[in-house]
Amino acid sequence: MYKQISVRIFVLLGLLFWYNSIVGQEGQKAEANTKEDFKRLDVFPAISYSPETKLTLGAIGIRYFDFDKNQLNTPISNLEFIGVYTLNKPIIAEAKWEFFFGQNLWRSRGEAFFNRYPDRNYGPGNQAAALLVEVRAEGKADTLNYLNFNSDRIKFSPVVLRKIKPNLYLGVQYDMEYLYRMRVTAGNYYYLNADSLEIINLPIDGIRSGLGLQALFDTRSPILNPLQGAMIQLNMLTYHKYLGSDYSFTSLSADLRFFKNTINNQTLGLRIFGSAQLTSEMVPMPALSRVGGHKLIRGYFRGPIRTII
């Protein structure tokens, strides 16, 4: 029986940054508001460029809600969203929320998105060892250790939590991700050695559907743009065919964040993150513990750094 444990552990030290961004300032104003029917919508243009997507145009924003009016112990709820379209026709429509209600006894958090976006398949294993030659339409060739592909992805991942002690929440979560219409973007490509063929053994598309628990300890203040406090989040999700999943495995993760306000209203942040997938089968590529992307270590492409034991 093939056994696989995929593990990722990161420590981000010495992140000294200024919390003077527009969204951050508005988040602090929201927390300090007298909560007399607080409502606000902030929208900003989003413009970027990368070799994979070319020019990207769209908008990002945040919507604030107050579900417990005049209850000062209930934080302001928020919904973050982004919608972009690129000249290469990729699409991102993503929403992330954090809602507080029931006099701060209940909170709901999660994300939902639809992406049509380029990705890379580095194959299984600790080393990105697959070597291939990708021939582009204009006849130029590159030697790569990954295979470029596009796909459509739908994700829905809600969490509902109940306060059981001050700053401590426990609840249930659901995670579903459907990757389909996967297509290699290279006009022509071929593998350079036999080991490179392992790249095709890593499953990519299909449905992952899992149910589990989340424990959350949160003393951040303010929550949207912390100046001080800590957040400790522990997750356990079980994916199984009886939930409609094409894959069966258990996912464990821990996310620890600590914030300390120092001098001149600057904040020192520390983050430790780890995850593991336990299974007797292959874990699909989107569920592997991978470094990079806009959510973790921004500026590094998500995929080449990962560990499978």
CA–CA–CA angle 26, 295, 284 (5° rounding): 150
What are the pLDDT digits (tens) for 110-142?
A: 999 999 888 888 877 665 566 778 877 666 788
Question: 4-287 is classed in which CATH architecture?
Answer: Beta Barrel (2.40)
User: What are the Cα distances from residue 150, in Å, to 4, 89, 121, 181?
Assistant: 26, 11, 10, 8
C-alpha span between 241 and 249 (Å, rounded): 10
In sequence order, the 6+-apart residues with CB closer than 8 A to the CB of 289 are 6, 7, 8, 275, 276, 277, 306, 307
What are the pLDDT digits (tens) for 132-182?
A: 788 776 667 888 878 888 899 999 999 999 999 999 999 999 999 999 998
Lowest mean pLDDT among 150-159, 209-218, 230-239, 294-303: 294-303
What's residue 3's pLDDT? 45
Strands, DSSP E only, in 87-123?
Answer: 91-101, 106-121
Is the confidence at residue 244, as pLDDT, over 90? yes
Q: Where do the structural domains in the chain lie, given as residue ranges?
A: 4-287
What are the pLDDT digits (tens) for 56-115?
A: 889 999 998 888 776 777 888 999 999 988 877 778 899 999 999 888 899 999 999 999
What's residue 125's pLDDT? 63
Between 99 and 187, whose confidence is greater?
99
| Helical ranges in the chain per DSSP H | 22-32
Instruction: Give this prediction's pTM.
Output: 0.80
Q: Looking at residue 226, what DSSP letter applies?
A: -
Nearest alpha carbon to residue 40 among 25, 26, 60, 28: 26
Is the confidence at residue 55, as pLDDT, over 50? yes
159 and 130 in contact (C-beta within 8 Å)? no
| Beta-bridge partners for 45 | 59
